[in-house]
Amino acid sequence: MEIKRPNYLNQLIRKRENGLIKVITGIRRSGKSYLLDPLFKNYLIADGVPEDHIIKIEFDRVENLIFHRDVWKLNDYILSLIKDSSTYYLLLDEIQLVEQFAFLLTGLIYEKNLDIYVTGSNSKFLSSDIITEFRGRDDQIRFYPLSFSEFFSAFSGDKLECWNEYITYGGMPLVLSMKTDQEKADYLKNLFNQTYFKDIVDRYRIKRVDVLDSLVNILASSIGSLTNPQKIINTYRSHGEKELSINTIHSYLSHLEEAFIVKKANRYDVKGRKYVQTPYKYYFTDIGLRNACLNFRQQELSHLMENVIYNELVIRGYNVDVGLVGIRKGNKRKQTEIDFVCNLGSKRYYIQSALNLDTREKTIQESRPLNHVNDNFKKIIIVRDAPRHWYTESGILVLGIFDFLLNPKSLDL
């Protein structure tokens, strides 16, 4: 079963031979290695690149352990494979396992006929010190688990069956090959606990493992809800945790973001045209991992749908914020929210998520924040149940969730 991942493959193709190090980062087991080989490698071969001009090294294989602590030996080995002046494509998988990998890569970029592509899951890949060492020589591609459309392309069932599967077990590729619900649940729980969680604990030498564990559960239980470190620390203190510091909560939240487990959405004051520092929202990179953290309890459809929409917008390349709009009633001014304010270049969309618009009152309620935005950018409500797209009396586009997820140009209908 091959899942094409055209969004990422096309990014690699566009960046081919651009003189920069193509850095593919993202959560483990999401398919980064598969993108390099077979997808990108097969593309190169089909485009006429000789197979001996594609150098592929997987650093999580036992035969390549000798390179982990000997960057000089690795450098010499790579250069020994370059036999002529034609372009060679260097595909390095899980490069973070190599000590001083940034030093290696910034040296290799001087080889004029070497086009470099690397994957990495380690959060250090995005830290400021590594970016400084690359000195602008890297071109990052953020990689995510399967989108709904990618998942559906390999799913044996209709859209509704696929939706129910996706909002339960998420988009980790290996889930598609598993036959039973128990297999999928066990895989996701073990993946989170034995890989992601353990990786954070070991890398940052976490002392309060119990706090990190409960913090993950708090975030998983409150997707789509406003929060901040102060609010979280107050929750702990109300349960008798007096010695825990707010700096610890700050650090643990940062670790979860850097490990690509969650992503923070800031609030943006639409009328004031400024960001509101706090509170903000967190969404999980993969909804199946979120559910696994809670042992597949708390399946609130509205929150799960909101998380899926957020991920889809991010995958499409939008900068996504939570909108804040002031509505005046007489002498009183009330703050209300728009679920997402999405920006990409000169484009902007205001988007609400709703399970249904089954009554006129519900339509008015969901439309109200959008109708108080005083600009001409497109306003959209995405609903779970809509047989076709339509417009409200005030010109707001109403999209069904499947129209949105399965059509990459759906926002421009």
> Could you report the per-residue pLDDT of 258-308, keeping only the tens digit for each?
889 999 999 999 988 999 988 999 999 999 999 999 999 878 899 999 999
Residues 47 and 82 in one domain: yes
Domain assignment of residue 123, given as a range: 6-143
Longest dimension (CA), the chain: 78
Residues 388 and 276 in one domain: yes
Residues 266 and 159 in one domain: yes
For residue 49, the domain's CATH number is: 3.40.50.300
All residues at 6 or more sequence positions from 202 whose CB lies less than 8 Å from its CB, including other chains: none
What pLDDT, on the 0 to 100 scale, is given for residue 132?
A: 67
pTM for the full model? 0.94
Residues 226 and 113 in one domain: no
Domain contains 365 = yes
Tell whether the model's pLDDT for residue 130 goes beyond 70.
Answer: no
User: Which of 114, 143, 172 is a domain's end point?
Assistant: 143
What pLDDT, on the 0 to 100 scale, is given for residue 124?
A: 60
CA-based nearest residue to 281, from 321, 332, 240: 321
pLDDT band at 386 (very low <50, low <70, confident <90, very high): confident
The alpha carbons of the chain give a radius of gyration, in whole angstroms, of: 23
What pLDDT, on the 0 to 100 scale, is given for residue 69?
A: 96
* Three-state DSSP class for residue 325: strand
User: Which of 90, 114, 143 is a domain's end point?
Assistant: 143
Tally of domains within the chain: 2
Cβ atoms within 10 Å of 213's Cβ, excluding its own: 15
Tell whether the model's pLDDT for residue 127 goes beyond 60.
Answer: no
What pLDDT, on the 0 to 100 scale, is given for residue 126?
A: 53
User: Which of 143, 172, 200 is a domain's end point?
Assistant: 143
What pLDDT, on the 0 to 100 scale, is given for residue 102?
A: 87
All residues at 6 or more sequence positions from 181 whose CB lies less than 8 Å from its CB, including other chains: none
Domain contains 80 = yes
* pLDDT, averaged across the chain: 93
Residues 176 and 139 in one domain: no
- Which residue's entry shows tokens 């690509």? 260
Residues 126 and 152 in one domain: no
pLDDT single digits (tens) 34-62: 999 999 999 999 999 999 999 999 999 99
- Which residue's entry shows tokens 């602590």? 69
> How confident is the model over 245-253, as a mean pLDDT?
95
Residues 54 and 174 in one domain: no
Tell whether the model's pLDDT for residue 123 goes beyond 60.
Answer: no
Instruction: Round to whole Å and give the CA distance between 367 and 398.
Output: 10
CA-based nearest residue to 402, from 381, 383, 379: 383
Instruction: Round to whole Å and give the CA distance between 125 and 128.
Output: 9
Domain contains 193 = yes
- Please report, rounded to a whole number, the percentage of residues in the chain having pLDDT higher than 70: 97
Instruction: Round to whole Å and give the CA distance between 87 and 77.
Output: 17
Residue 234 is encoded by which pair of tokens?
A: 């107050």
Tell whether the model's pLDDT for residue 324 goes beyond 80.
Answer: yes
pLDDT band at 136 (very low <50, low <70, confident <90, very high): confident
Q: How many CA atoms lie within 13 A of 277 on its CB side?
A: 2
Residues 182 and 314 in one domain: yes
Domain contains 1 = no
Residues 139 and 164 in one domain: no
Instruction: Round to whole Å and give the CA distance between 218 and 212.
Output: 10
What pLDDT, on the 0 to 100 scale, is given for residue 323?
A: 96
pLDDT band at 80 (very low <50, low <70, confident <90, very high): very high
Tell whether the model's pLDDT for residue 131 goes beyond 80.
Answer: no
